[in-house]
Amino acid sequence: MNHFTALCFFCLVAYLCSCNSLKPVTQNNLLQNLGSNELSKLDGDYEIISTDTSYPTLARALTFTDKKNLKNFNHMDQLARKDFRLNLKALDEKHLKVTLYSQNKIIKTKTLKGTVSDNYFQFKMRKISPVSPFYILLSLYKKQENRIGLTKNGELLLDSYEGGVLLLLVMPTFGGDTDAYNLIFKRKNVNSH
């Protein structure tokens, strides 16, 4: 297969995964004002499970952390889940540093690049990962769009969309998507860890 054909297939995959995205903002009245130079309002530690325990976890949405990094997370009791926290730190007006902790050990750190719009910090992530045990033949292209804002009582509000396409070599086979809106994540107390 020549480079042009491979490029065409990649463009097709990117197009298929780009067809859907986040729905328009619905809860802007719940949020604090967030300007592009006020990203530091998001600084702090947050629970990684929403108050209604919906998927995705905050760690999944902000770091694209695979399930293997959150071993047995869904089977943990509430007390064990409290050992996890996610820290946000504004680096400048377009970048947030996200650090996922378990029992004060860093599991993953990621820097997000995005923009502030409608009182939300909005960003996109993409990745291609091989599918076990067919590493050479199958891979998964995933795209995620998120927006986070701060509620008037200081909790984090998340809207998230994730889509993906299974690739056979470079040929898209089938895909799927999931989205979640208005998920609230409590801010952890500074001395709670």
Summarised one tens digit per residue, pLDDT across range 25-55 is 766 688 999 998 999 999 999 998 888 766 6
**Upstream peptide bond of 130 is cis (omega within 30 degrees of 0):** no
Structural domain for 157, as ranges:
3-192
Confidence (pLDDT) at 192: 42
Contact assessment for residue 185 and residue 156, using Cβ atoms and an 8 Å cutoff: yes
Give the Cβ contact number of residue 95 at 10 Å.
Answer: 15
Number of domains in the chain: 1
**Upstream peptide bond of 56 is cis (omega within 30 degrees of 0):** yes
Contact assessment for residue 125 and residue 116, using Cβ atoms and an 8 Å cutoff: no
pLDDT of 3 over the 80 cut: no
pLDDT of 108 over the 50 cut: yes
pLDDT band at 149 (very low <50, low <70, confident <90, very high): very high
Region 137-147: mean pLDDT is: 85
Confidence (pLDDT) at 67: 52
